[in-house]
């Protein structure tokens, strides 16, 4: 069975809480950690993100709003007889929801484009390096030469 859960920053202490999402309005969101124990937290709706069902190379769960590094293998073909150089480029992406495909995708802040469904890539090279709520400085656009 798929693990469907959400996270959001609690108004109580500013920390992320993880569990089931209840949304009463655009401004009122709650995360239920344990209903029997009464662990229900009002969270900032702007920080709510869904679990992708994936973990990065370090075992950390990947959520919508996370900033990830992933490795992309490129080939420089020189001749038909020679494969050329193989390079591994580490690229930064944001995990965002794409309504057109109804799914979570990698988004490249530099290009402003979605670059692929996050579930289609090997998770061995993915690494969560932060998120858009706590580490906005990671979103600075870097021009590739």
Domain of 5 in residue numbering reads as: 1-47
Express each pLDDT in 20-48 by its tens digit.
999 988 889 999 999 989 899 999 999 99
Which residue carries 């020679």 as its tokens? 82
Residue whose C-alpha is closest to residue 70's, from 98, 50, 94: 94
Give me the number of domains the chain comprises. Answer: 2
Tell me the pTM: 0.79
Residues with Cβ within 8 Å of residue 137, at least 6 apart in sequence: none
Express each pLDDT in 93-130 by its tens digit.
888 888 777 777 778 777 777 777 766 555 667 889 99
145 part of a folded domain: no
Is residue 97 located within the same domain as residue 131? Answer: yes
């Amino acid at each position: 069975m798929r693990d469907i859960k959400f996270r959001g920053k609690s108004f109580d202490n500013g920390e992320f809480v993880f569990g089931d999402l209840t949304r009463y309005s655009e401004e009122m969101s709650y995360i239920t950690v344990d209903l029997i124990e009464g662990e229900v937290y009002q969270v900032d709706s702007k920080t709510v993100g869904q679990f992708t069902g994936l973990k990065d190379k370090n075992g950390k769960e990947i959520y919508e709003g996370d900033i990830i590094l992933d490795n992309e293998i490129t080939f420089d073909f020189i001749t038909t007889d020679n494969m050329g150089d193989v390079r591994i480029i580490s690229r930064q992406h944001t995990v965002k929801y794409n309504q057109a495909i109804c799914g979570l995708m990698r988004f490249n802040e530099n290009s402003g484009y979605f670059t692929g469904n996050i579930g289609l890539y090997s998770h061995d090279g993915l690494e969560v390096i932060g998120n858009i709520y706590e580490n906005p400085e990671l979103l600075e656009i870097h021009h590739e030469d």
